[in-house]
Amino acid sequence: MELRHLRYFVAVAEAENVTRAALNLHVSQPGLSRQIRDLEEELGFLLLERSAKSVRLTDAGRAFLVESRAVLRRADEAVKAARVVASGQHEELNVGYAPMPTVSFLPPALRAFRKQFAGVRVKLHDLSPEEMLRGLHEGKLHLAFLVRPTRAMLRGLHFEEFVHDHLRLAVGRNHPLAKLRSVSVAQLKNQSLVAYSRKEYPEYHAYLRALFGGTKAHPPIVEEYDDGVGLVTALETGSGAAIMPQSLELTTGSRIKLIPIVPSPSLDSDDYFSPVMPIKNHQ
């Protein structure tokens, strides 16, 4: 049995017609039929039920089709990997990310990716959302993990939900609200907030506007920070509270108290979204 036998069988099974499969493979119909019969004789059982105009898989044929596709896929991957080694070149994947929201899934995802695609070098770029979007548009990044921006900012890009994260009120351990088990949006309207920089994280401020749209007053933002480290430090020192994802606890541990917001914030998913997203070019 050779790989060509498997390719011929898969082509016939998918086309459900020997003539059509022969045209797709650019081989003669009699030759293709002979190759399939040779394969069946070697296996000792029928793969196809034949009629005048079409063929159908037998039960054994259906099982063999699944395994044949897997063998051919692995063979193609082996060829690609060998070509990379032979050429002495490695493909490179440039990925934008923010450390804090990706800490729960990025390390295991990278391990799995490198195990399957050993010839691809992944370069991580710690950037703000604005820088990631610019990098995608300019072709400097292949994909990026970030909280979904507004529809206008996504123009020309494709996104898929990767992880859904719950929002929490984040406070230092000595904050007056730290003893609460939950908090409502209305309770926050007079609280001082610390937040990400409006310039670097416009989608975060758009979310805050939508979140507090039903209250009489938007909580005052007393400090803004360009990165998560500065924002967490401000929380620890009691500068204010912040609206942050649940995944923050993976990097701060017991240093920060995360309080559920009830009812859980829910916004129009066409405008704002809380999950971390991979965003990639259409090409």
Residue 94 CA to its chain's centroid (Å):
14
Domains of the chain with bracketed CATH: 3-87 (1.10.10.10), 91-163+275-281 (3.40.190.10), 167-260 (3.40.190.290)
39 neighbors 3 (Cβ within 8 angstroms): no
How many Å apart are CA 234 and CA 242, to the nearest integer? 10
Q: Grade residue 181 by pLDDT with cuts at 50, 70 and 90.
A: very high
Centre a 10 Å sphere on the Cβ of residue 123 and count the other Cβ atoms it contains. 10
Q: What is the tens place of the pLDDT at every residue in 115-154?
A: 888 778 889 999 888 888 888 888 888 888 887 777 777 7
> 168-183 in b/e burial notation, b at 16+ Cβ within 10 A?
bbbbbeebeeeeeeeb
Strand 193-196 and strand 221-225: the pairing is parallel
How many Å apart are CA 55 and CA 18, to the nearest integer? 7
Q: Please tell me the pTM assigned to this model.
A: 0.52
How many Å apart are CA 274 and CA 202, to the nearest integer? 14
Q: What is the tens place of the pLDDT at every residue in 81-94?
A: 677 666 655 578 89
